[in-house]
Structure formats: C-alpha cells, structure tokens
Structure 1
Amino acid sequence: MDAKKKKSEILHLVNWEVAETTVFQKQYFLLAGLMLLILLVYLLRLWHLQILEGSKYRYQSENNRIRLEDIPAPRGIIFDRNGIPLVENRPAYHLLLIREDVQDMDQTIRELAQLCNKPPEEFFGIVEANKTTPKFMPIRLVADLDRDCLARIEAHKVRLPGVVIQLEPKREYRWNGTAAHLIGYLSEITEAELKSEDYEGYFAGEDIGRFGVESAFEKYLHGKRGGRQVEVDAIGRRMRVLDEVLPIPGRNLWLTIDIEVQKVAESCLEGSVGGIVALDPNNGAVLAMASRPTFDQEQFIRGLNKEQWQALSKDPNHPLLNRCIGSAYPPGSTYKAIVALAALKEGMVTPETNFGCPGFLYFAGRKYRCWRDRGHGSVDVERALIQSCDVYFYQAGLRLGVDRIAQYAHYFGLGERTGIGLKGENPGNIPTAAWKKKVFHVPWQKGETLSIAIGQGFDTATPLQMANAFAAIGNGGKLWQPFVVRRIEGGNSDEIDEMKGKLKRTIPVDARYFQVVQKGLCGVVQDERGTAHSAIKDRSIPISGKTGTAQVVKLAEGANRKLAAKMAKLTERDHAWFVAYAPSVDPKIAVAVLVEHGGHGSSTAAPLAQRVIAAYLNGGAAEPK
C-alpha cells in the first residue's frame, strides 16, 4: 500500500509541474511580446524624429537660443505738493549687439554705423573695449536711439543677426531746468560705485541720482530690476517667453514745493545770478527753491561728452551750484534782526533804549560809518530796524560782544547745516573769538565786532538759513528743520510714508522781545521811512522783512559810497538781500532772496520776494486775484 501511495504522489507532482510550466511559458511569451512592442514603438518614434522631422529639430537646435533678458525697473515719479508730475519716465530704445549671433562682424558694424549716421570706428572701439565680455552677453552700441534711427534699424533687422533693440524707461523732466538744483539729475554708475555696499544689486549701465532729490532719495526712487528667460531664433527674434520675473518700480515722491510758485521764483531770477527760498514757517516745508543760472537736466540723460562737461563745470557762473544751500554770503543788514533779539534778551538794550546816529561812530580812532551819511538821529531798536541804522547796531554789538552774538545766531540755525538732507549744503560761518584764534592765530579785535553786528566781516549764511531764521522770528521762536519731501508712496496703500516737520529747538527769547522785533520788521515795509517801503508797492498782503546789502569789496576810508557804487564793476557790486515773512501776523510763508552783485536789497531783492509771496498766498498767481 505504501508503494502504491508513493507512486501516486510522484505522478501527481509531475502533472503539477507540467501544468505550471505551461502557465509560466504563457506569461513569459506575453511579457516578451510586450517588451518587443515597446521596443518597436521606441524605434518607430526614433525613426520619426530622426528621419521624418530630423531637419526641423536640427534647425531649431542650431538656430534657437535661450536668452536671459534684463527688465529695468522704472524710477519713481516725482510730484509737486499738489500732485502735478515734475519728473516722469519715457520709453528709451538702446541698440545692443550680441557678438555670438553675428555672422559677419565687420559688415554688421559698418551697416549699423551707416543706419545710425555714426563713424564705424566708434562702434569698432566699443566692441574692442568689451572684448573680455562673454560673447553671449549684449553690449550697448547706442543709448536712447532717436525715432528715425530706430525705424531704419527695425527695417533692416531681419538681415542683421545679433542686433537687439532694448526698451528701457528713461527719465523725463517735465519742466527741464525748473527746480533743477532741487530735483537734481542722473548719470551712469561708475565701476567703483558698483563695488560699493551702497549700490548692492545695481548693474553696469544703470543711471543713479547725482544731485538734489534724485540723489538724496535714490534708495526709494530706484526700484528693483526684473528679468525674463526667452527663446530666440538665429537673428535674435523672440520666439516665446519661458519664465519672467517682473520688476518692482521705484517709489513715488511728493515734494513740498508748489510748481507754480517755483516757476514764479525762477522767473524772478531771469538774467540774474542768485537764489530764492520759500518756506512754510509752521513746519519747515520748502515751498520753492530757485537757483540761477540753472542747467539742462535732459543733457545728462542724453549723455555729456568731454567738451560739454568741461564747458559746464568751468562756467564762471557755476550753473551746477545750488546757491540756496551751497553758497554762503555775508547776510548784511538782515542779520540785525538777530542782533536786536540778542541785545534785548541779554538786557544790553531795552525797547526804549535810544542811541544817537550822526552818520558814524568813532571807535578806537577810526570812523565807522552808517549807510546814511547824514545819520538817523536818535533811534530805538524798532526804529533802528525800520531804517536799518548801522550805528545803533554798532553800539548793541559792542555791548553784546562777539561770543554772545554767535550764541544767538546759532539759536537761529546759522553757522550749521539745516539738516535738509541734500548734498552740498554749506554751513556758513558765525565767528567767535576762539574761532579766529584757531584759524588766524591772532586774538579777536573789538573793531571786528562792529562789522559782524551788521552782518559783514566773517559772517556768512545761505539763503536757506536766512529764510529759516526769519521763519522762526515770524512764528515766535520755533526753529524747524527744513524738508523737501512730504510723502513717499509705494505700490499699495501700505507703502505710504508721510513726512512731517521736525522741530529743532524753541529759541530761548521772551515773546515780548519777539513782538518788538516783529513790529520793526513790519515797519520796514509798511512805515514810510522803512527801507523797503518804496520798493514794495502792493500793500494788499502785509509783509514783514529786512533788507540787506552785503559788501563785496571793502571801501577805502572816506570814500563816497554812492560814487563807488556807480563806478564799481559788476563783480565788485554788493549782493542784494531781502528776507521776509507774510502775512505779518500768523505767517504762512517765509522767503529769502539773494541776488549776487544786485546792489541794494531794497530796490533789487524786495520786489522779487513780494512776487513770490503773492504767488503762494494768491494760489499760484504772481499778482493778487
């Protein structure tokens, strides 16, 4: 039984193995067939790509390129206080060359030179200068193509492989030359600047702010560049965009100036050399800042050649100098208002103190004359301001001394930068005894105190400083830090920064003394004997101010002033000042006018200040409505 059973098991096992082998063979042949089918499909696809469409893909591989294109960010727009655009952006087209794609460099360069009306040597020189630049990187042959040249190139571009036209937003100054010193200009970044941390993320060829607001607020105006990855054909034509990162535009600035008031200030200085500054006495906002002569801002965008730059930089009238902040002048009799406040506060004089003025003061064996040869008689501080009596302030200055005069001048912001934030600000100079000892190595002489007490000698101040000082007089002793941008806007409502005035100090002078000086400054214009009374005809706006005549050439003792003024050369004539605020009570504007070699402040500068004041208070019109 056991043998039969064992034999039966062996037969069953053999039958199972035969059955299983049959199943395995079927699976094997099925898998092999599937693999063969896949191989066949692959071979058919390979045959299709290489045989049927091989020429097409060969052309694409040889002629299409992946390019990385730079997308410049448009700079922020600059508006005036009322939202009127002052500086915008326009489309500019640059001629670029990608040498890797150029088939015949010599022929391409010569044809481009002909189309652009330029000598071929200029383009060959650019190519040679960039020979170390990778050939796939574009090099710029011409910036800011004119329309005719652009049209000619586009018409011939199909047979100029490697020639690319790049679109870039370019600065456009809506009132070119107006407010040029305040707004500033752009020029191309240098290699040294590219390596600086201040310009991290900038690229070669970019324009950056060089002057004025364009420079001071560069980090806000600049924006962030973008880029795109594109597929181009053999002649540089874009086939499709593969990827793109959009640029982030620069933030917009709203300035504090009123363009209509600015234009009036500019017109006041037409044909003259000088500066006019207007401020809001209640917060320090700059309402206008005009400097003459001005310059062509667009010329910097177009690009200056060496000869043009030398002509501009060597011009004897220095058109690039912002005279409102960068040039300091003796303040002349405008300084007397500060000396008067110092003398009153220190008890050197009272409002009732009178000094006799016979037309001169003898001191240390020398005759110090008053501007009025026959003198002013007996005058108090108010009358001395109204008639600008030199002798009164000689006496007040001697009682104060140089160091106390300097102390009060510093209270009013003289002898230091205002903090407006623009490049090139001149701090001016307010002398002290220690200053003279350090600079000249000789002691201070009391006779020099007489000169500085009337704003001559070593005293110097900028028009901005004087406007700010008189704004503090007009508002009763609050010295504000001047500012020129009131709002910075970004791409959304969360990116808005409002700028407000910053109070630097409250001047430690009693209100009653301010009232005495304010009354005197009002009389300068309103009183019949005031030095500006005849110059300012319009009385519809009550103006308070002070005339000043800053001596340029020292006269010989005993010389006739009127005759000397008539005989003097233009460059030897006195500078003309008028600094004012208006209305006389609760002022809304303070103005400083300085005309170089303008002669008398009353006849030359005062009418200009009146025009600027009227333009602002009358809503932009130079004459009352």
Structure 2
Amino acid sequence: MANDLFGTVETDWYRTRLNRVLACILAGFFILASGLYYLQIIRGEELRRVAENNYVRLENIFPPRGLIYDRNGKLLVDNRPCFDVSIILEDAPDPENVMRRVALLLSMPETALLEKIKEINRSKPFKPILLKSDISRDELAVIKTRRFDLPGVVVSVEPRRHYVMGDYASHLIGYLGEISERELRNGSYPDNRGGDFIGKFGIEKTCDSYFWGKRGGRQVVVDALGRTTDTLSTVDPKPGKTVYLSIDGRLQKVAEDMLRKKTAGAVLAMNPNNGHILAMASHPCFDQNALVEGMSYAEWEAVVKDPLHPLENKGIQGQYPPGSIYKIVTAMAALEEGVVTEETTSYCPGFYTMGKSRFRCWKRHGHGLMTLREAMAESCDVFFYKAGEMVGVDRLAYYARGCGLGARTGIRLGNEAAGLVPTKDWKQRRFHSSWQKGETLIISIGQGYNLVTPVQAVSLIAAVANGGVRYAPVIIKEIRDSDGRLIETTKSKIVGRLPASEETLAIIRRGLEDAVNTKSGTGWAVRLSGGVMAGKTGTAQVVRQEGDRGKKQEDIPFRFRDHAWFCAYGPTQAPRIAVAVLVEHGEHGSSAAGPIAAEIIKTYLELYP
C-alpha cells in the first residue's frame, strides 16, 4: 500500500517536471518562431536588402581651408565645391566594363582609365581610385543619372581653392600642391595624409597650419553598388582660420596693372609709420587656379623654364644692383662722417679721374658746380664718386647695413634673399684678391657688387620718410577663427634706426623732394600736383660688354639693358605711403619705374585722403 502511494507520488513529480520542461521548450519554440516571423515576414524585405547588399563604410570629410581677405575685408581667396569621380573596385563586379561606360560618359580615353585600375594595388579594394577630378555640372548630372549602370562609381565633393582675383597677387598669396612623401615623413605636417593639398608658396605656405582645419568623418551604409543608402553618424569638420592681409586689394590691382605693361619687375608699397605692406606685385605672374586644377607636363615645363622666372617673387627674392637709389646711403655716410655738408660744392665736368682710369657721369657733358642737395636731385655721379672715396668702402658698408641692406627684413614669406653689402674682407674671402680704389667709386653710386631686394629698398625709403625708424615689414594684419574671434594680431615691430641724425635725414629728404619737384630733377617728369611726392630714380647696369660701350639702350640686347628703379614717398609732409619699383631692363628709372610709383601714391592718397 505504501509502495503504491510512493510510486504514485513519484510519477506525479516526474510528470510535473516533464510538463514544465515541455512548456519551456514550447515557449522557446514560440519565441523563436515569433522572432523568425518578425524578421522574415514583417521586416523580411528590409533585412533582406541589408543582408544582401549593405555594409558600413567610413568616409573622410575634408575641412574647408581658411579664407584670405585684404585689410578692408575684401575676399581674395575662398573655396568652391569640387566634384571628383572615383571607383571602388570592391563594389564593381566588372570594373573594365564600368570603365568603358565612364570613358564614354566623360569623354575620356578608355585606355587611360583601364590603366588606372590596373596600376592600383588590389590589396586595398575599398580605397577609391580617382578617375577624373573637378568634373563639370553637366558631367555630374550624367553620372548621377546613370548611377545604376555604374556599380562602384562614386562622386565625392570636396572644397577646392579658388583665387578670386585670378593671377593677381599670385606671388604674395602663393598656391597649393599635393603633400610629398618627404613632407609626410619629416613631421612638419602631423595632421595631413597622403593626397592632401598643402601650401607650397607664399601666404598659403606661411599660414598653412592656420588654414588647415580639423577633418571630420561619417559612418555610412552603402549597398552592393557602392551607393550610400543611410548615414549612421557624422562628425562635422572644423574650418580653418581666416587670414587678413595688410594689403589693400584696390591698390594691389593698380600696382599690378601698371607693372604688367612692363616685361618683368616688382612693386612694393609700405605704410612708413607701421611697416604694413600695402601692395606687393611681381611680374610676370602665374595662374594660381591653373596650378590647383592641374597643369599638363608641357604647361608646367613652360612655366619652370621661362627665362623671366614667373614663379619667383621678385619683391623679396630678386637681387639687383641698387643703382642711384644707393646714393641715399652714400649721402648719409658722407654727412655723418663729416666729409661733406649741405653747403659743400663739387664740380662735375662729366667724369672723375683716378689714376689712369676715368669714371664717367651719366650726364656726358657734366652737371657743373653741385651742392649735395643738387647732386641728389640731379643724381650727379661725380659728386658721389668723390663722397664715397672720402668715406671708404668699409664705412659705406657700415651705413648700408644700418639701413637694413645686406640682411633679410624678416617679412613672413619664405625664401627671402639677403642681398649683398661688399667690404674689403668680403672680397678677399670671396675672390682671394684685394679691394681696388676704383671699386669704391663704383660702389658709391650703387653699382659693382652691391645687391638689394625691392623689399629692402621700400624699407629704406620708408625709414627716410618717417624720420629714421626702421619697421619690420608686416604682411599679415590679423588672424581670426571661423566664427570671427580674433586669434592673432601682428604688432608693428621696430627693428632699428637709420644711422643718421634728424638733420642729416632732413637734408636727404630735401634732395629727394627736389629730385621730383624741380625741373632739373631726374624725377620731374612724374611729379604729382601740389608737390606731394618725393623720390629717387635709379639706373642699374646689368652687365656692360665692350662692344656695347657708346650704344643706345635700344641697340643693346634686352637681357643686357639696365634695370630701372624708383623709390618714393608721399605726401612730403607727414608721409603715409612709401613705394619701391624695379623694372627689369627698364633702362631709365624716371621713364620706366617712375610712372608706376607716381600712380600708386596718387591712388593711395585718393583712397585715403
């Protein structure tokens, strides 16, 4: 009886456990069936597309490069959308067939496109291969319309540099180029990757770290054809900073328009009271947009091999004999050394004899009796031969260096040249020969070994105009972030004073005023109404061959003709602008360079009365 009771209880216990297990199993099957029903019936179509076609891809978003404005807020450089066509081989079942279609749609050689995909390492199938950059709007519409026939073909949009003024200010602003392997390795560009475009020249290079923002990215879902079907997340890029230059865009255009009438040269305008560069032009120029968009090999070769060197910023890289503008230094040295005074007179018969050599004045029949002021105005060579001889080459070098010659000005642009101030020791080291007395005479009028850059010349005339203060040239006025907040302001920096008293500088300024505002002055032809401009002409010999002696300039081969200088400032009372103009092989400062300087000063005084 008891055994039956225990057997019944045990059977019930097993049955209960079994029922519970079966219930759990049935519940599990029900949940699984419900899930399958939900996934296959309710979301089946959607998930089928995801399972068969979609996967997640990371896309890079380039940051918009910082903008460039002039001192008044005029836009000089911005960014425009650039549409690039690429192919991702992993998404293209039949790449060669796709290439044939793309070639037809974009009017490109089929063989060139096929070569591109053959050269690519197949170990990186997800890396886009660029087929054509910067396609037109019409080409974009065609590609978008036929996208279902072009599996793996993608169109990306990136900001592309656009130079609003075309080739104006090209040497100052500079250009971009693709980062090189060496630049990637040297650690100077930690935020950049292969394929990025960085500043290669000018302000674009100087301020590259400011212009380059912070790249962004997005997670996108793409289908089997490589088409984006959904965006999962996005990190917006941070735009680069905005740079305001010290130049005035209107004055820059006037300077370049005037200079383009010449074969080659440079123009610099500076505010003598703070060192701000108001205009910087170099000619011949180059098309910055063409460099960004891509030149053919033949086009690039033509630019690089051009004998006029269009890629050289002649304002800071060009080194030229100063010619008669150096007489400012010689006059300063002679007055400060006490070998001449304002009343000192010297007779010019048209030449000066030293030993058996005769050194001629530019005026064949001579100037007659000259004071220092008259000699400065009429640029009498003989007066300055004698003054330089009394001062000596090494003391001339002392004053030249004190005027900022022979050293870089420190302007925030790369590859600035230093020029040359010769001395006895320099010649001994350089040529292993002694200095000759006649060489001192040649140096005194800005010929011989003397070399200056236009930016040094404008710094010198600006310092003479303002009473002797030498300012470092300022080209970057300020830098702001993309929201307009001020990041950096360039403060004017005094780098020295001219080695001359105020009395000496006043004498020199009177001579410069007479050079432009008296009929006998070499700059009389370019005088401005009201006598508001003072200046100094200069003619610098390039090379003189024996057969050229006595010839007219127009009969001498162009490359051997004299360079033309004109340095000026205005108004004569309380000057607000200083200008240096160099015209390569322009022959005469008064006729070639003078009109350019006069027009720039006139324009500036009209813009800022």
Larger CA Rg, structure 1 vs 2 = 1
2:306 is the alignment partner of 1:306: no
Say if 2:465 is the partner of 1:474: yes
Aligned residue number for residue 6 of structure 1: none
How far did 1:528 drift? 2.0
TM-score (norm 2): 0.94
CA distance in 2, matches of 1:168, 1:53: 37
Q: Structure 1 residue aligned with 2:312, among 321, 337, 340?
A: 321
**Quick check: 1:98–1:139 contact (8 Å CA) kept in 2?**
yes
Corresponding residue for residue 281 of structure 1? 272
State the SS of the aligned residue for 1:386: helix
Counterpart CA distance in 2 for 1:120 and 1:40 is 59
DSSP 3-state at the match of 1:413 = coil
Residue 347 of structure 1: aligned partner:
338
- Aligned-residue offset at 1:446: 1.1
Gaps of 5+ in 1: 1-17
In structure 2, distance between residues paired with 1:289 and 1:52: 70
SS at match of 2:457: helix
Say whether the 8 Å CA contact 2:348–2:369 is kept in structure 1.
yes
In the alignment, structure 1 residue 253 sits paired with structure 2 residue 243: yes
Aligned to 2:75: 85
Decide which of 418, 423, 430 is 1:439's aligned counterpart.
Answer: 430
Shift of residue 422, structure 1, vs aligned partner: 1.3
Q: Distance in 1 between matches of 2:356 and 2:454?
A: 35
Deviation string for 1:559-587 (max 9, x for gaps)?
Answer: 53xx4324222222211110011111221
Between the aligned partners of 1:371 and 1:360, the Cα distance in structure 2 is 9
Deviation, 1:512, is: 0.8
Q: Which range moves more in the overlay, 127-136 or 183-192?
A: 127-136
| 1:609 pairs with 2:581 | no
Matched with 1:405 is 396
Structure 1 stretch displaced more, 551-560 or 55-64: 551-560
Deviation at 1:593, TM superposition (A): 0.7
- 1:577 aligns to 2:565 (yes or no): yes
Q: Judge conservation of contact 1:549–1:599 (CA < 8 Å) in 2.
A: yes
Equivalent pair of 2:61/2:236 in contact (CA under 8 Å): yes
Partner of 1:503 in structure 2?
Answer: 494
Query: 1:33: how far off?
Result: 4.4
> Are the structure 2 counterparts of residues 344 and 28 from structure 1 closer, same or farther at C-alpha, using a change threshold of 3 Å?
farther
Q: 2:531, 2:279 → 1: CA distance?
A: 19
Structure 1 contact 541–614 (Cα < 8 Å) conserved: no
The answer for the alignment partner of 1:98 in structure 2 is 88
Instruction: Indicate how the Cα distance of structure 1 residues 32 and 202 shifts in structure 2: closer, same or farther if over 3 A, else same.
Output: same
Q: Equivalent residue of 2:439, what SS?
A: helix
Q: What is the rounded CA distance, in whole Å, between the counterparts of 1:400 and 1:558 in structure 2?
A: 32
Deviations 1:521-547 (A, max 9, x none): 1111112211111x1143235111100
Report what 2:4 is aligned to. Answer: none
Distance 2:229 2:548 in 1: 87
Task: State, as a whole percentage, how many aligned pairs show the same letter.
Answer: 43
Structure-2 separation of matches of 1:557 and 1:108: 68
C-alpha separation between the residues in 1 aligned to 2:70 and 2:17?
A: 85
Q: C-alpha displacement at 1:39, in angstroms?
A: 4.6
- Equivalent pairs counted in the alignment come to 603
Deviation (angstroms), 1:28 = 10
In structure 2, distance between residues paired with 1:266 and 1:525: 23
Secondary structure, counterpart of 1:508 in structure 2: coil
Task: Work out the CA distance in 2 between the residues paired with 1:53 and 1:555.
Answer: 92
Q: Does 1:330 align with 2:321?
A: yes
1:286-339 Cα shifts (integer Å, max 9, x gaps): 101111111111111111121111111111221111111111111100000111
Instruction: Report what 2:64 is aligned to.
Output: 74
Summarize the Cα distance change of 1:393–1:242 in structure 2 as closer, same or farther, 3 Å threshold.
same
Specify the alignment match of 1:193 in structure 2. Answer: 183
Match of 2:201 in 1: 211
- Separation in 1 of the partners of 2:69 and 2:523? 35
The answer for unaligned runs of 5 or more in structure 2 is 1-7
The Cα shift of 1:65 comes to: 1.6
C-alpha separation in 2, matches of 1:428 and 1:531:
26
Distance 1:544 1:38, change over 3 A: same
Deviation string for 1:79-112 (max 9, x for gaps)? 0111010111110000011110102111101110
Rounded Cα–Cα distance in structure 1 between residues aligned with 2:137 and 2:594? 48
Moved more, 93-102 or 134-143: 134-143
Task: Please identify, of 571-580 and 130-139, the stretch whose mean Cα deviation from structure 2 is larger.
Answer: 130-139
Structure 1 window deviating more from structure 2 (448-457 vs 261-270): it is 261-270
1:26-64 per-residue CA deviation (whole Å, 9 max, x = no partner) reads: 899779746753552233313543577556534322210
Paired AA for residue 504 in structure 1: V
Map 1:147-296 to 2 at 5 A.
147-272=137-262, 273-296=264-287
State whether residues 364 and 447 of structure 1, in contact with CA within 8 Å, keep that contact through their aligned partners in structure 2.
no
Q: Give the structure 1 partner of residue 509 of structure 2.
A: 518
Is the alpha carbon distance of 1:559 and 1:189 closer, same or farther for their aligned partners in structure 2, counting shifts above 3 Å? closer
What displacement does 1:150 show? Answer: 1.5
* Alpha-carbon distance, 1:194 to partner: 2.1
Q: Give the 3-state SS of the residue equivalent to 1:198 in structure 2.
A: coil
Asked if the contact 1:277/1:464 (under 8 Å) is kept, the reply is yes
Q: Assess if the C-alpha contact under 8 Å between 2:179 and 2:197 holds in 1.
A: yes
Letter in 1 for 2:357: R
Partner of 1:140: 130
Aligned residue for 2:417? Answer: 426
Deviations along 1:503-530, whole A, 9 cap, x unmatched? Answer: 1112232111111111111111112211
* 2:587 is aligned with 1:592: no
After superposition, the CA RMSD in angstroms is 2.5
The list of structure 1 runs, each at least 4 consecutive aligned residues, that deviate by more than 4 angstroms after superposition, is 21-36, 50-56, 555-559
Paired letter, 1:185: Y
For residue 555 of structure 1, report the CA deviation from its aligned partner.
Answer: 6.2
Distance verdict in 2 for CA 1:343–1:36, change over 3 Å? same
8 Å Cα contact 2:478/2:486 also seen in 1 = no
CA distance in 2, matches of 1:290, 1:472: 21
Q: Is the 8 A contact 2:276 2:475 kept in 1?
A: yes
Please say if residues 541 and 582 of structure 1, whose CA atoms lie closer than 8 Å, have aligned partners that are also in contact: no
Give the aligned residue type for 1:237.
R
Equivalent residues of 1:326, 1:426 under 8 A apart: yes
Specify whether residues 447 and 144 from structure 1 end up closer, same or farther in structure 2 by C-alpha distance, changes over 3 A only.
same
Range moving further from structure 2, 127-136 or 480-489: 127-136
Q: Distance in 1 between matches of 2:204 and 2:413?
A: 10
- TM-score by length of structure 1 reads 0.92
CA contact (8 A) 2:275 2:471 kept: yes
Contact 2:98 2:150 in 1 (8 A): yes
**Which residue in the other structure is 2:32 paired with?**
42
